[in-house]
Amino acid sequence: MTAPEDSGGSAVLLLRLAAPLQSWGYSSVFNRRETRAEPTKSGIIGLLAAAQGRAREDDITDLAAVRLGVRVDQPGTLLRDFHTVSDYRGRPLLQSGVNAKGIQKPTSPAKYTHVTQRYYLQDAVFLAAVEGPEPLVEALDDAVRNPAFPLSLGRRSCVPTQPISLGLRHGGVDAVLREEPWQVSRHARNAHCRRVGSRPARVDLNATVDDTSGDDVLADVPVSFDPFRRGFTSRRVRHLWLSAPTGIRNPDDPDQSASGHDPFALLGW
């Protein structure tokens, strides 16, 4: 059964997730770290837990229970970063296998340098809607604005741009994602206008929302962030397209043309 559009006593926290680099791990193994094309629920819950100052061993049941929706405002591009690792002491690198005593064995033949690969999203912008009990969502909003620990978008090196929190909304995840203006730069909006040959009032954007009747399953709901009992469970989601306001001023619309002066209008921006 699909979650109701507006459930009493709940609120939606809107998070703008934008940065030069983001990386949302999902199925990474060994020396290859992948990223999903959009934020994972575990990554967003990790960000919220860090904002509240929760330790890795703390309970996150309340955070895992929130309903999540993610709108892709700007998909960005994929970046592969590969670099080498070695032991500064000049020793051979260790292999993944261990001996009878549980100690990692050196590579054989000896290997002194290894290439690792990391994948990132460049210049992506996402709008995440977190729906839950209003007291919890209000506390999360305050924590994101005044975080206890540094916040990151998937990896610690991926520092988000500001603002992250866009505040609280009411009406359910689907409705909120439909009505929140497009979260991209002026340059991206103008590029869109040139591409479509007009100044559209709305734009179609891809989104993924939690839905118990959804036809897709993602195994990205954290059970615990404790390094000694780290685990995940799955959730059902629904993929859809949403028509959202572009925020683009149309000079031919009397209501918009009177809204203010645009100093870049003569430059075609």
pLDDT value of position 260: 46
Q: Clarify whether residues 126 and 193 are in a common domain.
A: no
Can you tell me the distance from the alpha carbon of 152 to that of 182, in angstroms, rounded to the nearest whole number?
A: 22
The 10s digit of each residue's pLDDT in 61-118 is: 999 999 999 999 999 999 999 888 888 898 888 887 778 888 888 888 898 888 888 9
Summarised one tens digit per residue, pLDDT across range 215-229 is 999 999 999 999 888
Q: Are 86 and 220 in contact (CB under 8 A)?
A: no
Q: For the chain, what is the domain count?
A: 2
Is 93 a domain residue? no
263 lies in the same domain as 237 = no
The residue that leads in pLDDT, 30 or 161, is 161
pLDDT of residue 200: 94
In a domain, 176, yes or no: yes
The pLDDT, as a whole number, for residue 7 is: 47
Residue 134, domain CATH:
3.30.70.2660
Q: Is residue 172 located within the same domain as residue 228?
A: yes
**Statement to judge: residues 36 and 166 lie in one domain:** yes
- Average pLDDT for residues 191-220, to the nearest whole number? 95
Residue range(s) defining the domain that contains residue 53: 10-81+111-180+205-244
53 within some domain: yes
Q: What is the mean pLDDT of the chain?
A: 88
43 and 14 together in one domain: yes
- Establish whether the linkage from the previous residue to 109 is cis, with ω within 30° of 0: yes
pLDDT of residue 12: 98
Per-residue pLDDT tens digits for 165-180 = 999 999 999 999 999 9
- Predicted local confidence at residue 259, as pLDDT: 43
190 with 74, same domain?
A: no
